[in-house]
Structure 1
């Protein structure tokens, strides 16, 4: 799960950086909308690795990283592991509580909109459902209706440009985008990039709505002045498309920015290339190093490399851990100095199931490396790995935590 979250977070970061560098200042609002929404979907779907690509260069060698074992001469538990498990349990509870609270708030906000749509006074203006409300808010839209202040509407203070602006939000189904991001923020509330994507999506919505108004009326300068007049501190609504959302210099400049076909083609091509590279990078079969948990390595599961069965210690990986723990003898010098730490050892499971090529990647000294290699040499033969029915060699990496009695 942690690996999935890290991968999705990395993808969101890359896609957002690409948007800021290449797309944000271009007048291709529909493509940008598709890109932003597609980036969100891509970032949370691709790490699931529903399908994979064969890597361009295969090493012909599988490598498995085991979870590791602990060997100690005292019966006292290692407090570090206990604290990590305790902290992880607390974090899971915090995550669940926050997600539930945010989910309930989202549901209540959506229900409140539908309640207004069904109970408030309704008018129809140029085929648009207009909901009259007593709240002092600027015109905003949600689902299939535009919400405006009743007094201002009856006094004719709502310019037609503003209603066309909100009508564009409805016709282009911008509410669905906002709800989609809101659901993602509820589930992945700890991910800061979702807020950045939400801001970018809503601003792009305004670009699209502004474009619709200027296309119909053709009075850009007049419309800009109108927006500035309505920019105020009036209440806005989070789930709705708000008229004065980020009325910034950038938004006003985008109305008169000229399109550059050459620049647009170059940037679309660049974005496509980046997307394809990320797709391949995050879905290539892990041949050089495949990480397995203890449970995965404990049975005849197929690895991420198609038609490859992992080696099996007689009785399963738990039996292997027990074998190492029962045969390991803590060196006197290590115990004498009351040492502790983590040792990393690599070994090869050959085609006939025997172990070879023992290598200490990280040593703790005092003879522990010699003892680890001595124990591994005592191991009975494993059931060898197979690829497409043929026996293959597999490299294992095993961390061993050692703690002498205090």
Structure 2
């Protein structure tokens, strides 16, 4: 899990840096929207290694690396392991607690919009749903409705450009983007990259809505002045698309920025290259190399038509089996040594274990004892590839801690 979080965090950081350096200042708003949302999905899916890229070069069959087993004869080490488990438990509890609080806040914010729709009067103008609020608020939109001040609307103080701006948010389904990012922030609340992505996505939403207004009315200068006048001393609303989100020099300048087709194509090409390199880099190490030799061996990780070997009851049961049957060699205990040994073995097509090999030994009979235990193993459920049983090689690290 930690490896997955580190990889996804690194991908998010790279994609965000590419956006800030290449895309944020370009008038390619629809591409930017797809890029930002795609970056989030890409960064969360690719580290899962649901698929792989086959290498163009032949490679040796790799051995599946099992998790480390620790066998201790020192009570202080057992206490340390128990302490670590307690720490992990409390960290997990803290994560769940914060995620639950954020989820409740999210649910309250979302439900508040639907409550406002029921509580206040509603009008339809040009097939657009307007919720007339009793309090003085800045026009904002959510889901399928625009929320405006009833008094300002009755007095004609809300320019049609502002209604058009919020209508553009609704027509382009910007609410879905915001809800998507908000959910990700609940799950990954510890990763600040999602906050940065949400800000970038919301700002790009404003670029898109501004573009729609200027195409409809064609009065850019008047619209810029209108935004500045109308948005002063107003408050934003959580989850909503609001007219005054980041009224900055960058947003105002973006309305008059000239487009360069050649420049934009070049940047899209660079982005494509970066995405391809990241896809290859994060899959190359775990690429499933399905290759056969004279014994019909196969290296198995994850693939639709490949099934890994299974110890009866699951891999955790295998670790328990080794730990319960391993007897610390007397001579090894006398030396009061610590260390890690590596054993390789093959799961045959009938599920039996064979070809035991001590890759790294600690001496004093430790490696031989590990092989003795593995020979006691019941038969595994063999691996299959395209419906046929195949052999699979494993590497098992075992850490030994003798009594002090």
> TM-score, normalization: structure 2?
0.82
Question: Is contact 1:59–1:287 with CA below 8 Å preserved after alignment?
Answer: no
- CA deviations 1:229-261 (Å, max 9, x no partner) are 123232210111011101111111111111111
CA distance in structure 1 between the aligned counterparts of 2:91 and 2:145, rounded to whole angstroms: 40
Question: Is contact 2:64–2:300 with CA below 8 Å preserved after alignment?
Answer: no
Query: Are positions 1:104 and 2:98 aligned together?
Result: no
Deviation at 1:357, TM superposition (A): 5.3
Which residue is equivalent to 1:354?
Answer: 355
Question: Is contact 2:69–2:319 with CA below 8 Å preserved after alignment?
Answer: no
CA distance in structure 2 between the aligned counterparts of 1:374 and 1:139, rounded to whole angstroms: 76
- CA deviations 1:320-373 (Å, max 9, x no partner) are 4444x31523546643xxx6x5x233344368923335335xxxxxxx545434
CA distance in structure 1 between the aligned counterparts of 2:287 and 2:280, rounded to whole angstroms: 14
Q: How does 1:187-206 map to 2 (within 5 A)?
A: 187-206=187-206
Which residue is equivalent to 1:292?
Answer: none
Deviation at 1:101, TM superposition (A): 1.9
Look up the SS of the partner of 2:327 in the other structure: helix
Query: Are positions 1:304 and 2:305 aligned together?
Result: no
Q: How does 1:213-232 map to 2 (within 5 A)?
A: 213-232=213-232
- CA deviations 1:24-64 (Å, max 9, x no partner) are 11100011111111222222233333333323345323223
Look up the SS of the partner of 1:123 in the other structure: strand
Which residue is equivalent to 2:274?
Answer: 274
Which residue is equivalent to 1:17?
Answer: 17
Which residue is equivalent to 1:150?
Answer: 150
Question: Is contact 1:73–1:403 with CA below 8 Å preserved after alignment?
Answer: yes
Q: How does 1:104-123 map to 2 (within 5 A)?
A: 104-123=104-123
CA distance in structure 2 between the aligned counterparts of 1:38 and 1:80, rounded to whole angstroms: 43
CA distance in structure 1 between the aligned counterparts of 2:158 and 2:383, rounded to whole angstroms: 74
Question: Is contact 1:131–1:146 with CA below 8 Å preserved after alignment?
Answer: yes
Look up the SS of the partner of 1:269 in the other structure: helix
Which residue is equivalent to 1:296?
Answer: none
- CA deviations 1:67-116 (Å, max 9, x no partner) are 33333334455232212211111122222222222222222211211121
Question: Is contact 2:136–2:151 with CA below 8 Å preserved after alignment?
Answer: no
Which residue is equivalent to 2:399?
Answer: 400
Moved more, 377-386 or 236-245: 377-386
Cα root mean square deviation, aligned: 3.2
Deviation at 1:282, TM superposition (A): 3.7
> TM-score, normalization: structure 1?
0.81
Specify whether residues 208 and 309 from structure 1 end up closer, same or farther in structure 2 by C-alpha distance, changes over 3 A only: closer
Specify whether residues 308 and 161 from structure 1 end up closer, same or farther in structure 2 by C-alpha distance, changes over 3 A only: closer
Which residue is equivalent to 1:67?
Answer: 67
CA distance in structure 1 between the aligned counterparts of 2:159 and 2:80, rounded to whole angstroms: 65
Question: Is contact 1:53–1:285 with CA below 8 Å preserved after alignment?
Answer: no
Query: Are positions 1:47 and 2:41 aligned together?
Result: no
CA distance in structure 2 between the aligned counterparts of 1:4 and 1:317, rounded to whole angstroms: 23
Q: How does 1:3-402 map to 2 (within 5 A)?
A: 3-76=3-76, 78-284=78-284, 286=286, 303-304=301-302, 307=306, 316=318, 318-323=320-325, 325-329=326-330, 331=332, 334-335=335-336, 341=338, 343-349=339-345, 353-356=354-357, 358-359=359-360, 368-376=362-370, 394=393, 396-402=395-401
For structure 1, the 5+ residue unaligned runs are: 290-300, 361-367
Deviation at 1:377, TM superposition (A): 6.1
Moved more, 151-160 or 242-251: 151-160
Moved more, 31-40 or 72-81: 72-81
CA distance in structure 2 between the aligned counterparts of 1:193 and 1:3, rounded to whole angstroms: 17
Deviation at 1:165, TM superposition (A): 0.9
